[in-house]
Structure 1
Amino acid sequence: MSTFLNHGKMTVETPPERRPITSYDQIDLSDLDFWARPMAEREHAFELLRERDAPVFFAEPAQTFVPRGPGYHAVVRHADILEISRNPAVFSSEGGGATNIVDMPAEFAEYFGSMINMDDPRHARLRRIVSRAFTPKMIQKFEDDVRTAATSIVDDLLEKGPGCDFVTEVAARLPLKIICDMMGIPEKDYTFVFDRSNVILGSTDPEYVPEADQDAILTALLTAGAELQQLVQDLAAHRAEHPTTDLTSSLVNANVDGERLTLQEFGSFFILLVVAGNETTRNAISQGLLLLTRNPGEKARWLTDIDGHAPKAVEEIVRLAAPVNYMRRKVTRDVEVNGTVYREGEKAVLYYWSANRDRAVFPDPYRFDITRDPNPHVGFGGPGPHFCLGAHLARREITLMFRELLARVPQITADRPEWLFSSFINGVKHLPCDF
């Protein structure tokens, strides 16, 4: 779950000078310094990688707490990601964790061993139990809650006035409130949940974990995971005896074909839900405002029919935002995919962010077009069993947040984003807004 696990080099200062990237052999996705480069340089680097005949193979960095792995294919083209995603039997999510390039240490499994890091039949069992909360019918039941929350957030935005941080005051508040309310987490714990999720996904960013040495960051990650799990397990124990209408009560007392979640499974699922749900949706909303600010013509077009343009506009925001840069798979047997041979034991890292800019699929891929159709992006992951469980909810949250903003604060703009220092999450930490 943490980008810390993916890198041995912990340089946090931006080097004073960098050689411009002119060829693919200058690129090292395993070097954290690559992810500190300006966005335009990273876009150019992935363009060079996509132009290769086959995925480039990278060495894994050495770590003090796990043996060095065999290396990984950087899968950057849309067609390759689709093909690999459809074949989970060969490209496994287990064996060290789908959210890390370097294998996850054993002690992480208690907190981060959620279904995202499992294959069938374990994955199917957990997904079968929890998926009842994320059907389109269930999301429709949450619609009023999302709309009410979005209205309240914009009320507060107008009261505070221009100059505030759009991430913390708007984009982060909506998914945090919705997920915490769904689970029955009281409002007094919102900040606690928000801060711990920042540590888990921002462990390489000195704002969230100031200490740069591996031991300190490892401790911070395990502490944040343990604290989130303890919070929800305490709630689950109470709901088992005193059920309400919240999702915690439903999941703790759920009996699907005789199957129940253990407390450990429930705790890991909550960490996945709160981290994935909060971080990805807030980054899509934040980057959505950036895209509208930098493309005023598209913003004006959306304003002509807010509801009518919303479905395609939201998909285009998710395509370009691509809040999760990648997921990892481990190869279970030798196989050939689109001309590339993957050997048993190797890893394949699926760079969704790159695939969403693939010229073979998206004409003029860097252009923000709220009417783009078709738009087969992989911002919610590729096809197959690990497609994002919360995609319906994320779409509704993004839609209703922008409906409220465009209708009530149509002049809002934002720029000068402060990006998260991470290879895993394509995130915005802070974003001053004006209106």
Structure 2
Amino acid sequence: MTDTVLDGMDLTSPDLYAERVPLEEFALLRRTAPVWWNAQNPQDHSFDDGGFWVLSRHADVKAVSCAREGWSAAENGSIVAFEGNIGKEAIDLQRLLLLNMDPPHHTEVRGVISKGCFTPRAIATLEDGLRERAHRIVSEALAKGQGNFVVDMASELPLQALSDVVGFPVEDRAKIFDWSNQMIGSTDPDFVGDPQVSAAELLTYAYAMGEERRACPMGDVVTRLVQADSPDGALSPEEFGYFVLILTVAGNETTRNAITHGMQAFFDHPEQWEHFKAERPATAADEIVRWATPVVAFQRTATQDTEIGGQAIAKGQRVGLFYASANRDEAVFTGPDRFDIGRDPNPHVGFGGGGAHFCIGANLARMEINLIFEAIADLAPDISPVGPPDRLRVGWLNGVKDLPVRYA
């Protein structure tokens, strides 16, 4: 039955996600074929292996994510699909991204970044400043009367948080936002520009910042990351450049999409917005991330013959970890299609399924989500939609370009 219903369907099609997340198809897979072969035409994608296995159940996504051996992020990268053939050289370059590294190199690089940027103490020191910025962002949007929620609110706090974490000058955030859009939105006709050019421009910007701190240390995060005598170790120029690139995308795109989908969820479930305004539950951010699941799927490549859910997986085959499906798994979540900001426990995989590649900035993302919605509840409690969201055309990201709202 599954093959008949999903015959010819590609769960990484950008055209599909421009319209919706295929939640009904995911539910069908969980019931009837939890490990399902998704065929891909090599003429349309950069992989020439014919396709990959879709993992739709929470347990299977967690098992592969947490496995210490048997799976590689570096072999084919973590992005499950590229539209068009971008070439092997471009895929090889992606191994410089933390997202696409394997141990032991991944362990070393992540350790330097964690100690330099994302310790609980470092994140806690940002809270008061980000709370003030969140209120300023909402105040400025409120003065406009109405606008695009994505640009006016959802993207601003993540960008300003990045400025604090890495030391980007605030005046540079607009071009960083633009570079990020062009890198992610290469399959979306509304975004003009070449993603490879945008990536090169951002890397050049990061290299220049790193070189400046090597020559003139300033006692900031960048200095700690690039100075050769740093007590926690240091990143090479290439590692630092690609760290800035992935942080710009992962720290900006994912959080802003979670915030945008969270706002739309509150519009669709007004009783939850009343609940949030009255009680501000700490559990809200995790439910928003579960509900939104900004990254629909990443992939791993089998480094040995194995089996998942009774299905043989051959060495060299790819598997898609479909977080968007796992986060609606009826075996794990009571009422998975219910948006409930008081949900507790909430073992979602919106920050990854655990293991070595669990989102390094998860606590910062939770903070940003909570702070922006607290500011909206304080200053713009009657915010309302004036049109439907305009979705991003990308085959692995649950993105929104435009959410027209009235702020007052």
1:112 Cα deviation (Å)? Answer: 6.5
Percent identity (aligned): 38
Structure 1: how far apart are the matches of 2:4 and 2:12? Answer: 18
1 CA distance for matches of 2:43 and 2:233?
Answer: 38
TM-score, normalization: structure 1?
0.87
Deviations 1:182-219 (A, max 9, x none): 22222332111111111111111011147xxxxxxxxx
Give the structure 1 partner of residue 157 of structure 2.
Answer: 174
Q: What does residue 183 of structure 1 align with?
A: 166
Question: What SS class does the counterpart of residue 398 from structure 1 fall into?
Answer: helix
Distance 1:416-1:296 versus aligned 2 partners, 3 A rule: same
CA distance in 2, matches of 1:379, 1:367: 16
Task: For residue 373 of structure 1, give the secondary structure of its aligned residue in structure 2.
Answer: coil
Residue correspondence of structure 1 range 275-424 to structure 2 within 5 A: 275-306=249-280, 309=281, 311-414=282-385, 415-424=387-396
Per-residue CA deviations over 1:323-361 (Å, capped at 9, x if unaligned) read 011111000001122322211010001010111111111
Structure 2 unaligned spans of 5+ = none
Cross-structure match for 1:60: 40
Displacement, 1:22? Answer: 7.9
Deviations 1:95-133 (A, max 9, x none): 121124369732354467211101100100100110011
> 1:6 — aligned with what?
none
Please say which of residues 200-209 and 314-323 is displaced more in the overlay. Answer: 200-209
1:1-400 aligned at under 5 Å gives the runs 23-25=5-7, 27-39=9-21, 42-63=22-43, 66=46, 68-101=48-81, 105-110=88-93, 113-132=96-115, 133-161=117-145, 163-209=146-192, 220-253=194-227, 255=229, 259-306=233-280, 309=281, 311-400=282-371
Q: Which amino acid aligns with 1:176?
A: L
Q: Structure 1: how far apart are the matches of 2:290 and 2:12?
A: 24
**How far is the alpha carbon of 1:71 from its aligned partner?**
2.3
- SS in structure 1 opposite 2:283? helix
SS at match of 2:32: coil
Where relative contact order (Cα < 8 A, 6+ residues apart) is larger, the structure is: 2
Secondary structure at the residue paired with 1:261?
Answer: coil
Q: Is the 8 A contact 1:128 1:256 kept in 2?
A: no
Separation (CA, whole Å) in 1 of partners of 2:334 and 2:125: 37
- Aligned equivalents of 1:146 and 1:95: distance in 2? 38
Tell me the TM-score normalised to structure 2 length: 0.92
User: Root-mean-square deviation (CA), in Å?
Assistant: 2.1
Show CA shifts across 1:300-341 (max 9, x none).
Answer: 1122212xx1x2111110001000111110000011223222
Secondary structure of the residue aligned to 2:356 is: coil
In the alignment, structure 1 segments of 5+ residues that lack a partner are: 1-20, 211-219
Change in Cα spacing, 1:158 to 1:30, as seen in structure 2 (3 Å) is closer
Find the counterpart in structure 2 of residue 10 from structure 1.
none
The answer to whether the Cα contact below 8 Å between 1:101 and 1:349 also exists between their aligned partners in 2 is no
Please say which of residues 150-159 and 265-274 is displaced more in the overlay. Answer: 150-159
Q: Name the structure 2 match of 1:15.
A: none
Q: Distance in 1 between matches of 2:336 and 2:47?
A: 39
The CA deviation at 1:393 is 0.4
1:51 is paired with a residue whose SS is helix
Distance in 1, Cα, partners of 2:349 & 2:244: 24
Deviates more, 1:68-77 or 1:120-129: 68-77
Residue of structure 2 in register with 1:431 after alignment: 403
Amino acid at match of 2:332: V
Decide which moves more: 268-277 or 48-57.
Answer: 48-57
- Cα distance in 2, alignment partners of residues 281 and 301 from structure 1: 22
Residues 303 and 316 in structure 2, CA contact (< 8 A), matched pair in contact too: yes
Q: Secondary structure at the match of 2:147?
A: coil
Partner SS state of residue 7, structure 2: helix
Matches of 2:202 and 2:100, distance apart in 1: 18
For 1:190 and 1:57, locate their aligned partners in 2 and report how far apart those are by CA, in whole Å: 41
